[in-house]
Amino acid sequence: MPNKRLPMRKIKEILRLKYICSLSDQEIAESCQIGRVTVGNYLKRMAAAGLDWANAASLSESELQVRLFPKSYPPPEARRPAPDCQYIYDELRSHKKLNLTLTQLWLEYKEAHPTDGYEYTQFCEYYHRWREKRDYCMRQEHRAGEKVFVDYCDGLSIVDIATGELIPTELFVGVWGASNYTYADASPTQELPNWINSHVRAFQYFASAPRVLVPDNLKSGVNKACFYEPELNPTYADMAEHYGCAVLPARPAKARDKAKAEVGVLIAQRWILAVLRNRTFYSLSELNAAIRELLERLNTRPLRKAKKSRRELFESLDRPNALPLPQRHYEYAEWRKATVNIDYHIEVDHHYYSVPFTLLRERLDVRLTATTVEAFLKGERIAAHARSYVPGLPTTVKEHMPPAHQKYLEWTPSRIIQWAAKTGAATAQVVEQIMSTRTYPEQGYRSCLGILRLGQHYETKRVEAAASRALKFHACSFKSMRAILKAGLDQQAEAPSMSNQIPLPLHENVRGGEYYVQE
């Protein structure tokens, strides 16, 4: 086992490919982009833990990690450092004029590994074995129902009716390994949604799914093209898992890995694109209808050597051994990363979705479809929402909130007014007036709660009297009522009304209010 442990999600994928897809260790290694020995070691750990796939699938990632990696598990034995055969080969070729020999390269190797390196005879034997296997071409034998090779090529252009502009298209091609049964359709681009939807339509056309998909290293299928460890696009991997397929990307610059796809593209160009080259199409649906017509002719045409058509070979070879389609088609989904904010919401396309408040600052995997948003932590779904396209607003589940916030959620204007009415009608009127003057009633909740809590320090009669005084002088606020009670104004007799006061005498020096009115 390497020192760097694989993510538990990839370990589960190894187990699924072994016990559900029945792949060999080598095929699993190619699909997961790891070493075959590493695959064997993880399978041994599962056997040592006494697990089968049914038990492993039901365990969370944390539980599976504890079962597979107990502290008592013995570490693997150290191995001798292998010579870098590619470096030796390049050095011998590039320094022929210097008469460089294996002896000199072995001495340099021993200087780097004086104690644990190979001796000269073993060193030379190791290199010669590698050299004999360097230039070879293996004839691929395709098992029935196993592989579908997929690729793109330049398609025909369609004409924009409004502008007359030519819009280029891409031709998606999928070919079965054993029967050469072919599917093709046109799409606007090679981007991820078109790539995934072309696969879904291909599986519908085949009425079955392969056990292995062999794509090229285009960005929609492989995020990071690497000779040794290509990184699959999460959406593509999710789609493959939905149909029960494994994905074995072709190595970069290795056309032999996808020879079937190369030939399938060539056949599609000859028998479909070449036939349609002089026709004018004004929509993608019109172009695909013409492609489907020629595709039927291609698949029903008898092959020269086999004396059977591609469809007949498919029905007798690939179809009986392929995987059945699931009950529902794959719904296109994108995977993203999102961090839980301090308000226990994640932001997705400028909308906010709640997750359990205990996950603050966690980095989550988010799966987006046209209708749903799902959040995952270490492979476990912890939240799901109906997708909203309204920017700036939150979608919140009550159970995700802290207990104190849940209690706050139960507050409503009518409920607060009912609480105030227990003190008196004037208090309820003050509370109602406070909330009615706010843009949103929630903005007045704190002021109303402060008024209700005045009853903890003053008698109910005094609070009600203070509310009456506040209404009379249009001073409906928590601060005004607290000042009235603190000054004892609620206990004072009311001042005489203005109607009982003696009117002012008429005099030239008594100007009155009209004097100050500006004209």
DSSP string, 468-500: HHHHHTT--SHHHHHHHHHHTGGGSPPPPPGGG
pLDDT value at residue 79: 65
156 and 242 within one domain: yes
Distance, in Å, from the CA atom of 60 to the CA atom of 70, rounded to the nearest integer, reads: 16
> Lowest mean pLDDT: which of 78-87, 170-179, 249-258, 287-296?
249-258
> Lowest mean pLDDT: which of 135-144, 222-231, 240-249, 322-331?
222-231
Which residues of 188-321 form beta strands (DSSP E)?
212-214, 222-224, 231-232, 246-247
Q: Is residue 257 part of a domain?
A: yes
Which of 279, 299, 321 delimits the end of a domain? Answer: 321
pLDDT value at residue 500: 54
416 and 397 within one domain: no
Angle subtended at Cα 333 by Cα 331 and Cα 335, rounded to the nearest 5 degrees: 160
For the chain, give the mean pLDDT: 81
Confidence of residue 226 (pLDDT cuts 50, 70, 90): very low
Four-residue CA torsion sign, 118, 120, 123, 129:
negative
CATH of the domain at 255: 3.30.420.10
Question: Token pair of 111, please?
Answer: 């200087």
- Residue position matching structure tokens 């200087």: 111
Four-residue CA torsion sign, 448, 449, 450, 456:
positive
Residue 83 has pLDDT above 70, yes or no: yes
395 and 428 within one domain: no
Instruction: Classify 515 as helix, strand or coil.
Output: helix
Region class of 33: left (phi > 0), else alpha (psi between -120 and 50), else beta: left
Per-residue pLDDT tens over the stretch 10-47: 888 888 888 888 888 888 888 888 888 888 888 888 88
CB atoms within 10 A of CB 485: 20
Q: Is residue 495 part of a domain?
A: no
- Answering whether pTM is above 0.75, one says no
| Helices first, then strands: H and E counts in the chain | 21, 16
pLDDT value at residue 33: 84
Q: How far is CA 79 from CA 109, 156, 188, in A?
A: 16, 55, 52
Residue 353: φ, ψ to 5°: -120, 135
342 and 227 within one domain: no
Q: Is residue 312 part of a domain?
A: yes
104 and 28 within one domain: no
pLDDT above 90 covers a percentage of the chain that reads 24
Distance, in Å, from the CA atom of 481 to the CA atom of 430, rounded to the nearest integer, reads: 10
Q: What is the mean pLDDT of residues 312-321?
A: 90
User: 27: closest CA among 245, 205, 206?
Assistant: 245
pLDDT value at residue 306: 74
101 and 236 within one domain: no
Confidence of residue 4 (pLDDT cuts 50, 70, 90): low
Q: How far is CA 43 from CA 12, 24, 34, in A?
A: 11, 12, 13
pLDDT value at residue 506: 57
- Residue at 302: amino acid letter: P
Q: Where are the alpha helices (DSSP H) in 246-353?
A: 259-268, 274-276, 284-300, 310-313, 319-321
295 and 161 within one domain: yes
Contacts of 483 (CB under 8 A, 6+ apart): 489
Q: Is residue 137 part of a domain?
A: no
Distance, in Å, from the CA atom of 66 to the CA atom of 52, rounded to the nearest integer, reads: 15
Distance, in Å, from the CA atom of 68 to the CA atom of 63, rounded to the nearest integer, reads: 9
Number of domains in the chain: 5
91 and 119 within one domain: yes
DSSP bridge pairs for 183: 174
**Which of the two residues, 55 and 4, has the higher pLDDT score?**
55
pLDDT value at residue 262: 82
Per-residue pLDDT tens over the stretch 491-507: 876 655 555 555 656 55
CB atoms within 10 A of CB 351: 19
Q: At what angle do helices 445-453 and 425-436 cross, to 10 degrees?
A: 160
Which of 23, 43, 68 delimits the end of a domain? Answer: 68
- Residue at 510: amino acid letter: V
Distance, in Å, from the CA atom of 384 to the CA atom of 492, rounded to the nearest integer, reads: 60
CB atoms within 10 A of CB 458: 17
Distance, in Å, from the CA atom of 249 to the CA atom of 118, rounded to the nearest integer, reads: 34
174 and 306 within one domain: yes
pLDDT value at residue 326: 92
- Residue at 206: amino acid letter: F
Q: Is residue 505 part of a domain?
A: no
Per-residue pLDDT tens over the stretch 347-397: 988 898 999 988 888 999 998 888 889 999 988 899 999 988 888 888 888
The kind and range of the H/E element at 364 are: strand 363-368
User: 273: closest CA among 175, 157, 150, 148?
Assistant: 157
Q: Is residue 372 part of a domain?
A: yes
Render the burial of 402-428: b for 16+ CB within 10 Å, e for the rest.
eeeeeeeeeeebeebbebbeebbebbb
372 and 249 within one domain: no
Instruction: Classify 222 as helix, strand or coil.
Output: strand
DSSP of 107-141, one letter per residue?
HHHHHHSTTTSPPHHHHHHHHHHHHHTTS--PPP-
Q: Exposure of 190 by Cβ count < 10 A (0-12 exposed, 13-18 middle, 19+ buried)?
A: middle
432 and 361 within one domain: no
Distance, in Å, from the CA atom of 510 to the CA atom of 515, rounded to the nearest integer, reads: 10
Residue 20: φ, ψ to 5°: -105, -50
Q: Is residue 201 part of a domain?
A: yes
Highest mean pLDDT among 215-219, 234-238, 381-385, 418-422: 381-385
313 and 192 within one domain: yes
Rg of the chain (C-alpha set): 38
Which of 296, 321, 346 delimits the end of a domain? Answer: 321
Confidence of residue 437 (pLDDT cuts 50, 70, 90): confident
Instruction: Classify 37 as helix, strand or coil.
Output: helix
Confidence of residue 217 (pLDDT cuts 50, 70, 90): low
Q: Is residue 1 part of a domain?
A: no
Residue range of the domain that includes 47: 8-68
